[in-house]
Amino acid sequence: MTGAVTYTTTVPSAITDAYGFKYNPILGKIYLTTGHIASYNGETLPGYWWSDRDDYEEGHTPTTGAEVVYLLADEDIEEYSYTPLTVQMFY
């Protein structure tokens, strides 16, 4: 058996600021699962969120002006494609 092999891939630039995503290098898919608000101002949030000022409580919202990251609703998850990674298998 040989040593470890390193694989490198380039992902779409649209996800470089992503805070949460699912990654499937074999299929060449990235699913962006979070949204980001730099300064919260009453926007509707679909569910669980993180804030630089508050702890999440169901039914509550972040403080106005807080930086917020939130989970996207399933129908809002964004899919990005890129060249799939080819993995060489030895047996």
Identity at 6, one-letter amino acid code: T
Cα–Cα distance measured from residue 30 to residue 19, given in angstroms and rounded to the nearest whole number: 13
Whole domain around residue 72: which residue ranges?
A: 15-81
Q: Is 91 contained in some domain? A: no
User: Does 1 reside within a domain?
Assistant: no
- The low-confidence residues of the chain, meaning pLDDT below 70, are 1-3, 90-91
**pLDDT computed for residue 28 by the predictor:** 87
Domain assignment present for residue 87? The answer is no
| Separation between Cα atoms, residue 64 and residue 53, nearest integer Å | 10
Distance CA 43, CA 9 (A): 35
- In the Cβ-directed half-sphere of 54, how many Cα atoms lie within 13 Å? 19
Number of domains in the chain: 1
pLDDT of residue 67: 96
Query: Is the residue at 86 inside a domain?
Result: no
